[in-house]
Chains A and B, each alone.
Chain A
Amino acid sequence: MLAAIRPDSWNYALFLHVLGASVLVGALVTAGAMQVVGWKRDAGQGAAMFARLAFRTLLFVAVPAWFAMRIGAEWIYSKEGWADVTSEPDWLGVGYITADLGGILLLISVVLAGFGARRLARSDGGSTILARSAGVIALIVLLLYLVALWAMTAKPG
Chain B
Amino acid sequence: MSRYDWLLFLHVASAFALISAVVLASVLLVVVRNRDVPSEVARLFRLTRLGDVLGGVGSVGALVFGIWLAIDVKGYELWDGWIIAAFVLWLMMGAFGGRTTKSINAIRDRSRALAAESGDAPNPELRSLVRDPRGLWLHAATAVAVLLLLVDMIFKPGA
Contacts and interface: CB of A to CB of B under 8 A. Distances in A.
A and B: bona fide binding partners: yes
Interface of A: 1, 3-4, 8, 11, 14-15, 18-19, 21-23, 25-27, 29-30, 33-34, 37, 45-46, 49-50, 53, 57, 61, 146, 149-150, 152-156
B12 interface: yes
28 contacts: A1-B4, A4-B76, A11-B155, A19-B147, A21-B16, A22-B16, A23-B19, A23-B23, A25-B19, A26-B16, A26-B23, A27-B23, A29-B20, A29-B23, A29-B24, A30-B23, A30-B24, A30-B47, A33-B47, A45-B43, A46-B40, A53-B27, A53-B31, A61-B27, A153-B8, A153-B12, A153-B13, A154-B8
B114 interface: no
A87 B23 CA distance: 37
Interface of B: 1, 4-6, 8-9, 12-13, 15-16, 19-24, 27, 31, 40, 43-44, 46-47, 50, 54, 73, 75-76, 147, 150-151, 154-155
A30 B20 contact: yes
Nearest to A142: B20
| Shortest 5 CB-CB contacts between residues of A and residues of B | A26-B23, A26-B20, A22-B19, A153-B9, A154-B5
Contacts of A34: 47
A21 B76 CA distance: 26
Nearest to B155: A11
B23 to A, nearest CB: 3
Contacts of A146: 13
Among the interface residues B22, B27, B31, which one has the most CB atoms of the partner chain A within 10 A?
A: B27
Contact of B43 (A8, A25, A46, A156): A46
Given A4-B73, A33-B47, A34-B47, A154 B24 contact: no
A106 to B, nearest CB: 15
Contact of B154 (A15, A26, A154): A15
